[in-house]
A and B are shown apart, each in its own frame.
Chain A
Amino acid sequence: MRVNVNKYSNNNGAGTMSRDQRSTIALETVRLTKTYADQQALDGVSLRLEANRIHGLLGRNGAGKTTLMSIATAQLFATSGEVRIFGQNPYENREALSRVCFIKESQRYPEAFNVNDMLAVASTLYPNWDAAFADRLTEEFRLPRCKKIKGFSRGMLSSVGIIIGLASRAELTLFDEPYLGLDAVARGLFYDRLIEEYAENPRTIVLSTHLIDEVSRLLEEVHVIDGGRLLLHEDTESLRMRAYTVTGPAAKVDAFTAGRRSLRREALGGSAHAALLASSPSEQAEARAAGLETAPLPLQQLIVHLTGHNGTIREGLA
Chain B
Amino acid sequence: MSFPMDDGRPIFQQIAEKIEDDIVDGTLSEEGQAPSTTHFAQFYGINPATAAKGVNVLVDQGILYKKRGIGMFVAEGARERLVLRRQEQFYEIYIVPLLREAEKLGIDNKQLAVLIQEKGRG
Contacts and interface: CB of A to CB of B under 8 A. Distances in A.
A191 B56 CA distance: 23
Contacts of A195: 38, 41-42, 45, 47-48
Contacts, number: 71
Given A15-B60, A237-B50, A217 B45 contact: yes
B10 A241 contact: yes
Range of interface residues on B (Cβ < 8 Å): 20 to 34
Contact of B56 (A17, A217, A284): A17
Main secondary structure of the interface of A (DSSP, over half): mixed
Contact of A217 (B5, B8, B52, B60): B5
Interface string A13-52: 0111100000000000000000000000000000000000
Main secondary structure of the interface of B (DSSP, over half): helix
Interface string B1-15: 000011110111100
A12 B13 CA distance: 9
A214 interface: yes
Contact of A14 (B38, B44, B56): B56
Most buried by A among B49, B50, B52, B53: B49
Interface of B: 5-8, 10-13, 37-38, 41-42, 44-50, 52-53, 56-57, 60
* In the A-B complex, the 7 residue pairs with the closest CB atoms: A296-B8, A199-B48, A199-B38, A217-B46, A195-B41, A14-B57, A195-B42
Given A17-B53, A218-B47, A237-B12, 7 more contacts: A14-B56, A191-B45, A195-B47, A214-B45, A218-B46, A220-B50, A240-B11
Interface of A: 10, 12, 14-17, 53-54, 191-192, 195-196, 198-200, 214, 217-220, 237, 240-241, 244, 284, 294-296, 298
